[in-house]
Structure 1
Amino acid sequence: MNSTLPLEPLVKAPQRMVKKRVYQFWDQVSIYLPVLLMGLLALASYWLLRATPIPEVPPAERELVHEPDYRMRRFSVKVFDANGRIKSEVYGAEGRHYPDTDTLEIDKARIRNYSPEGLLTTATAQRVTSNGDNTEFVLEGDAIVVRQAGKNAAGKRLPRLEFHGEYLRVLTKWDMLASDQPVLLIRDNDQMRADSMVYRGDRQAAMLKGRVKVQMQPR
């Protein structure tokens, strides 16, 4: 007598086994899923850091040193007014500009300057140093400043003035000439010597200090 077993239970048994193994697999995966996600995030962050360009560090500002940035040799500079009349002229054997102090040094300098009233002032020295806005001049070595005689804007006579010394400092903003070293002042035919001096052009007055010697000529 032949008997036939039902096929449905035999087919469903392997399916249940597969589902069970799938569930077990996902249970195992779910345990380690946070660890895997953290690893992926770490790899992504590392990749972003490698891909992001490093910002350039701005170069440090170069410290200025006391060295000339340009030189001039055997030069002459003239300045004219609106009517074409010469106002000033500077000649030098050599000139050097220092950017750290914004000063100009001129060797064997000769300077000519005309006031608005037309009075000529000349200056010579072995070395002249001027600041950036040309309001201060330091004359060193055989320094001589001469202002020719003439008249001011009010018509008053101005005597001829000469200043001699190894060091003379001219401040054009205050019309002042000063020296903390021995100086000789010649006013027309009168001579005055002192260890130091301050002259104010706006007041037509000189303050002499130290050992003062005055030689006055009879009028």
Structure 2
Amino acid sequence: MAASRRRPAWAAAHGWRHALDRLSRGWERTAIYIPVLLMGLLALGTYWLVRNTPGSLPSEGQKVISSEPDYYMRKFGIKTFDDAGQLKSDVAGTEVRHYPDTDTLEIDKALIRSYSIEGRLTTSTGDRALTNGDGSEVQLTGNARVVREASVGPDGREVARLEFRGEFLHVFVNDERVKSHLPVVIKRGADEFEGDTFAYDNLDRVADLKGRVKGVLVPRKAIGRVP
């Protein structure tokens, strides 16, 4: 009975061939869809990368510039020199902050000394100063004061000491101009003037005072007069 249940060798071989044929036909049918499956997997992978990859850095032209200070210094002092090595300016203060969006410097308790080509010293002070990137403009706020020391002009004549005081002064360094929309006191030597607004041009030696203007002129002593 056991021998009758044993499958002949040719039947076993035929069964293996049939199984292989079915596997081959199944593989062929599956192979048709492999490119589609691969494309689907590629699309899913691309979508995942897009969702999980951080945004690319903006280009130089698209860079977002912050309005917050990007650096500051405390109890600082900065000196600048011209091409000939002569001292051009000396800036100091309790703290300075740089704002990259406007390229300006904000200085607390500012002390600014600047020297003209002829060597004339001008000193600017204020509770706060705001300067542009190249230092050609300075806005002084709170106890603002600009003093140009006495000097000798190209013609050999003495140039009197000149002082401006107020709560706000806008100084144009290269053009040697000062202006303000607030009341200002001007002292030239012993003379003193006041005005609600003013503009001064040192190159033309003209001061334009407006509003309630008043002044005090001190007579000059006559040369050779015996008191």
Q: TM-score, normalised by structure 2?
A: 0.71
Deviation at 1:40, TM superposition (A): 5.6
Structure 2 equivalent of residue 201 of structure 1: 202
Q: Is residue 46 of structure 2 the alignment partner of residue 45 of structure 1?
A: no
Superposition pairs of residues 1-219 of structure 1, within 5 angstroms: 42-50=36-44, 54=49, 57-59=55-57, 63-82=64-83, 84-153=85-154, 155=156, 157-219=158-220
TM-align CA RMSD: 2.7
Paired positions, count: 185
Deviation at 1:131, TM superposition (A): 0.9
Deviation at 1:43, TM superposition (A): 3.0
Paired letter, 1:140 = T
Q: Percent identity?
A: 43
Structure 2 equivalent of residue 14 of structure 1: none
SS at 1:208 equivalent:
strand
Structure 2 equivalent of residue 5 of structure 1: none
CA distance in structure 2 between the aligned counterparts of 1:51 and 1:186, rounded to whole angstroms: 77
- Alignment gaps of 5+ in structure 1: 1-32
Paired letter, 1:130 = T
CA distance in structure 2 between the aligned counterparts of 1:164 and 1:126, rounded to whole angstroms: 13
Deviation at 1:50, TM superposition (A): 4.2
- Alignment gaps of 5+ in structure 2: 1-28, 221-227
Q: Which has the larger radius of gyration?
A: 1
Paired letter, 1:215 = V
- The range that moved more, 80-89 or 184-193, is 80-89
**Is the Cα contact below 8 Å between 1:117 and 1:151 reproduced in 2?**
no
CA deviation map 1:64-91 (0-9, x unaligned)? 4432221111111122345544322111
